[in-house]
Chains A and B, each alone.
Chain A
């Protein structure tokens, strides 16, 4: 499904932070997890996740360390920091509010959106 750019950009931060709250991870795995969570509906341009991760690192929300993959390749792993968890909690409240409002209005409008793939 096509999701407009602004929405992708806005939801990317909480999604990445939430995925990292499950445990340490790296770019490729994060993208795979996003696809999994959305049943393959959300397709990010893979390269875009890295500038985002770097911004989160700069803001202190995640911490990055170079490690090795199972096959011995250099790989950069990201971990949620305490500031990151706080930020996630705040984002979560914001999104829940938006979600709640939207749900309210979806219920009262007649044509419920049908999933299309």
Chain B
């Protein structure tokens, strides 16, 4: 490690440490970082080692506690967020109030947008449903509102808005101009990958256009996990509501099912995307770290499961049977393990020393990799029988992407456990790799149809 790299790493650690403070926002840390670097440069010119210069500069900046206390003093509303679930009265709630209106307005807009095509005779459900149209366009009718929510909230500059609009326009063109065959494999693949590609576009808005920043990317990962949890909770509540709607109307001899299928479920599902995002944003500090808690719970369970699975395979000598769904199943397994790893990383104090739980996580990743390699081996051995179908190519591509991601994570994790590398490197690797998924999602959406002749 050169001295410059060491310095970068220390500044990175200093940043994450500072970012934990409630009252200090990312832009404040940016400003302080500029100060720190100016000081380090000046001291280096005066003949100090980068290391020494960093220490002196940090010392002069003042200890974190008193500086963040001073910030807290200045920005008391930032601390409020952690104390009250619903924003309190007074000036404090002004922006929170605006966000609420914005979120609800956009949720309604998304619900309406989803129903507009019905005016042109494209039905979302029922007997004459036009499944193909909605399969292709459902994310395009909802996610732009989510992106808009963050763009407004983060006060994205005008150039950012153009950049943000670009992927959505491209996606709309791809989804509606390419001559997909109904029920074709490439159509289904595009319908699966488009939401992923556009979700990462939402990440651009979430980061306020600063998508290159590692911290922002990590925040978006955190956000995605929390959003998923909130959305699931809302869906549970929505399910209960739907059940009761049908039940009570049935009691008076009316059939509410058309109303539920045509309006409540689709509109609710679209609006909930915005509401869940708004909840994650506004309750950020209150019910934080739900995802990390779940990962803490399930990491050992999955590690044990995979260990037993590998042991059983060796014991019985049974190979993995290559079926249609095997590849997809193992993709999902790797995604799950990656998720467990990501949320564990996002919640971990990057300065803490290795603990026994870290070994367990590494074990989980290694087991997943081993199982996946065994599955891949079985599939590739028989690939000549099936040829390259679009489904298989997509699944295989994703598998390779995940393998590279998890494989290198395992290496970095092992090096961290051996105290030969810092945890920050592992974090950086994960956030740096995210665009690869976006790129792959776009390739499958945009290029696969033509490559595979719209099969």
Interface residues of A (CB under 8 A from B): 26-28, 45-48, 50-51, 54-55, 58, 69, 73-76
Contacts and interface: CB of A to CB of B under 8 A. Distances in A.
A88 to B, nearest CB: 20
B4 interface: no
Contacts of A75: 31, 34
Contacts of A55: 74
Main secondary structure of the interface of A (DSSP, over half): helix
A50 B34 contact: no
B34 A45 contact: no
A53 to B, nearest CB: 9
A86 B37 CA distance: 34
A45 B71 CA distance: 14
B34 A48 contact: no
Contacts of B34: 26-28, 69, 73-76
Interface string B25-45: 000101110110111000000
A48 B62 CA distance: 8
A45 B35 contact: no
Given A27-B31, A50-B31, A51-B71, A45 B61 contact: yes
Contacts of B67: 45, 47-48, 50-51
Contacts of B28: 50, 54
B82 to A, nearest CB: 19
B70 interface: yes
B61 A46 contact: yes
Contacts of A51: 67, 70-71, 73-74
B318 interface: no
A34 to B, nearest CB: 13
Q: Report the 9 A-B pairs with minimum CB-CB distance, sorted nearest first.
A: A47-B67, A45-B62, A47-B62, A28-B38, A51-B70, A51-B74, A47-B61, A46-B61, A28-B35
14 contacts: A28-B34, A28-B39, A46-B61, A47-B35, A47-B66, A47-B70, A48-B66, A48-B67, A48-B70, A50-B67, A54-B71, A73-B34, A73-B37, A76-B34
B31 A76 contact: yes
B3 interface: no
A83 B161 CA distance: 33
Contact of B35 (A46, A54, A58): A46
A21 to B, nearest CB: 21
A46 B39 contact: yes
B74 A54 contact: yes
Nearest to A76: B31
Contacts of A45: 60-62, 66-67
Contacts of B38: 28, 69
> Size class of B's contact patch?
10 to 19
A58 to B, nearest CB: 8
Contacts of B37: 73
Counting chain B CB atoms within 10 Å of each CB, the highest count among A28, A47, A48, A76 belongs to A47
Given A28-B39, A46-B61, A54-B74, 20 more contacts: A27-B31, A27-B35, A28-B35, A28-B38, A45-B60, A45-B61, A46-B60, A47-B35, A48-B62, A50-B28, A50-B32, A50-B35, A54-B28, A54-B71, A54-B75, A58-B74, A69-B38, A75-B31, A76-B30, A76-B31
A46 B37 CA distance: 13
B70 to A, nearest CB: 4
A26 B75 CA distance: 20
Nearest to A31: B35
A58 B35 CA distance: 21
A4 B86 CA distance: 41
B279 to A, nearest CB: 28
A75 B67 CA distance: 19
Contacts of B35: 27-28, 46-47, 50
Contacts of B31: 27, 50, 75-76
Contacts of A58: 74
A26 B32 CA distance: 11
Contacts of A76: 30-31, 34
A3 to B, nearest CB: 16
Contacts of B39: 28, 46
Counting chain A CB atoms within 10 Å of each CB, the highest count among B32, B35, B71 belongs to B35
Nearest to A75: B34
Interface string B56-72: 00001110001100110
A62 B25 CA distance: 20
Counting chain A CB atoms within 10 Å of each CB, the highest count among B31, B32, B66 belongs to B31
Contacts of B71: 50-51, 54
Contacts of A48: 62, 66-67, 70
Counting chain A CB atoms within 10 Å of each CB, the highest count among B38, B66, B71, B73 belongs to B38
Contacts of B30: 74, 76
A46 B43 CA distance: 15
Contacts of A26: 34
A91 to B, nearest CB: 19
Contacts of A46: 35, 39, 60-62
Nearest to A53: B31
A27 B34 CA distance: 9
A26 to B, nearest CB: 7
A76 B30 CA distance: 9
A58 B70 CA distance: 15
